Amino acid sequence: MFATVPNPIPARMKGLNRAEICDVNFSEFVKAWNGQADVRPAAEEAVLAGSALDARGFRELLESQLISRHLDLMARVLRLQNKVFYTIGSSGHEGNAMVARLTRHTDPAFLHYRSGGFMAERFRKLPGMDPVMDSALSFAASKDDPASGGRHKVWGSKPLWVLPQTSTIASHLPKALGTAIAIEAGRRLGHALPIPDDSIAVCSFGDASANHATAQTAFNAAAWTAYQKLPAPVLFVCEDNGIGISVKTPSGWIGNRFRHMDGLDYFYADGLDLAAGYGDVQRAVEHCRTTRRPTFLHLRTNRIMGHAGTDFEIEWRSIDELCRVEAGDPLLRSAAIALESGLMSKDELLALYESIRDRCFAAAEEADRRPKLESLSEVVAPLAPYSPDKVAAEAARADYDARRVEAFGGERKLPERQPPRHLAIQINNALHDIFAKYPETLLFGEDVAQKGGVYTVTKGLQKAFGPRRVFNTLLDETMILGMAQGFANVGLLPIPEIQYLAYFHNACDQIRGEAASLQFFSNNQYANPMVVRIAGLGYQRGFGGHFHNDNSITALRDIPGLVVGCPSRGDDAATMLRTLTALARVDGRVSVFLEPIALYMAKDLYEAGDGGWLTDYPPPGEAMPLGEGRVYGEGHDDLVIFTYGNGVPMSLRAAREIERAHGWKCRVVDLRWLVPLNESYIREQAASARRILIVDEGRHSAGVGEGVITAIIEGGFGARPFKRVVGVDTYTPLAGAAFMVIPGEQDIVAAAAELAG
């Protein structure tokens, strides 16, 4: 029945190897069917025997399956003509349309790339939407693509609450769980959710992806949440086709692994058979929605036509195996149901099949004629939106006096009425202020609640604002940042804490690949507004080693669209935090607030007891413009020192010694904003400098100093004598040895002496 036979197929379908065979198989199967059809149901509401699926529902699911299939076939043909740029298909996974039908369009969906059936079915949820044309625009990389504006082939839709994912390999699971947790948290806080209170988060992935460390993080966190009886209505949909590219999943692995996993409620459904699987999918969805528990739906699927258009399976799978796989095509089972039930005749079914083919090709040809992204400005437009006037106005807004008086415990205790304080205290005061200003703000991480963090920077926040807004998480940085994305998805303002900079690298992709990319890949329709607090950098005494003194921010500098601020003193910290929260609120941006641990408690500058590094608290209404540095010694041009973080007080102390030794008037420039570097500001400061020193406490390679040098040279000031004082390319050792690998004051003085020579 499934052998290739002569068949008058369109010329455009020639040369498609197994894709052509699968296409022919469907037509030949229908033509060869000789079973006995039941009497055609008298009403569309008639129920298919033994199934929870009615006739109308089946017809629509079948159509969604066929749309998904013909989009795959179209992509294989038109890719050869350079009209389509993506061929990872959904063939064999079309049963996921059942999940779409049984969930709502307001259930946030984070989808596997084989979700063509799901998307075609979800498009039915709202009138006037066209799954074929929208998908064709995405395949063609047209800037009219409503999902990404031509930046990637993604399954996504703002009105349908499908948040665009790229080629996700499990990285979307933490934020899906985070969104489920956020739905419940937002409801308990009285926050006006953008979706119904009983929504669930839907997250699909393949059986191979289920083994990924990031997936395991999400499963563990879901079970951890359920163990504490905290609601987390996430529907994990594992579309098990038994293979990952070319590596087979051991038979029974997914069922054995997850059927008895404590904290995940397991359901199985046959995704190859709409009649058999529909009721089981329905039970899983209803269970998740009513119990609010993490639910694992093990959906049996198949993968036909290979991993992608470039995967010639015949080179590594036997023909017998391929034929067995293709015989399990879910479209053949759907065709059999349509024929056996009398819902459709052979001619009706074939006519529907060909009409959808024509519809998909017509849409693709139209999409090819639509405009593409043609300029760099168009490409990067949604990457880092910035409305400076609105951000400045929001940062300076101070219309919450009553709430802040309550938060600080009375008028007399307001921080601006207190004596000058050190950095840790002023960050703490600024966080209290932000929580009073924005009732939707949440702060969470390891040890941040009762303890107030390792360095007590968040002390008192939970007492002032309650455990629903300030809470501890499990020890898992990936999940902390996944939850932050979830909270952002439902309109809350998360301030997650990563306990040490070295720990960020465990979870970097949640920012680099997920949070910071969402505006770009959704054409700024979705955003993950958040301020990530990270304690880091070196110079701690008595508590050392690499994992508590990581001085490299290279991984942060590499993330497109990210903003990184690094204060060196308390007043700057407060005004910088106000700007970052306003930036999140107004433009939906992701930022990192990098807190120099060694300066948390610093009080003195030049000598013990001088209090030179204590600052007053800036009252509400004062904020730091994005990119603005601070200058010490304005107008002093003999030597200009560019630095940040710990380098600022070090450079100020060194500057005194340099002035005594050489008679130079020194200017110290605290960059404050490290990503993106304000190149025009750097050049402005360099323009009048006779000599330049760059003091970078990071490592020699790929540090901030390289960016400063580049800005200076490209600005035409490279002829000025300059030197760089920078850390060594090594991990930080323990105890006193640590200070051998990072810059010190005497290194700055020595570099100035070289410039003098």
Residue 315: is it exposed, middle or buried by C-beta count within 10 angstroms (0-12/13-18/19+)?
A: exposed
Tokens for 488, please give them. Answer: 């952002």
What is the distance between the alpha carbons of residues 158 and 610, in angstroms, rounded to a whole number? 56
- Annotated active-site residue 662? The verdict is no
What is the distance between the alpha carbons of residues 523 and 151, in angstroms, rounded to a whole number? 8
The amino acid that residue 380 corresponds to is V
What is the distance between the alpha carbons of residues 662 and 13, in angstroms, rounded to a whole number? 80
Active-site residue, from 548, 636, 662, 700: 548
Cis peptide before 676 (omega within 30 of 0): yes
What is the distance between the alpha carbons of residues 683 and 708, in angstroms, rounded to a whole number? 9
Q: Are strands 673-675 and 639-643 parallel, antiparallel or unpaired?
A: unpaired
What is the distance between the alpha carbons of residues 706 and 726, in angstroms, rounded to a whole number? 10
State the DSSP string of 107-144: S-EE--S--HHHHHHHGGGSTT--HHHHHHHHHTTBTT
Q: How far is CA 124 from the centre of its chain?
A: 27
Q: Please enumerate, as own/partner, the contacts of 7-16 that have beta carbons within 8 Å and a separation of 24 or more.
A: 12/77, 12/361, 13/73, 13/77, 15/80, 16/73, 16/76, 16/77
Burial 444-467 (b: 16+ CB within 10 A, else e): bbbbbbeebbbbebbbbbbebbee
What is the distance between the alpha carbons of residues 751 and 647, in angstroms, rounded to a whole number? 14
Q: Please, how many CA atoms are within 13 Å of residue 73, restricted to the half-sphere of its CB?
A: 31
SS (H, E, C) 616-637: CCCCCCCCCCCCCCEEECCCCC
Which residues belong to the active site?
548
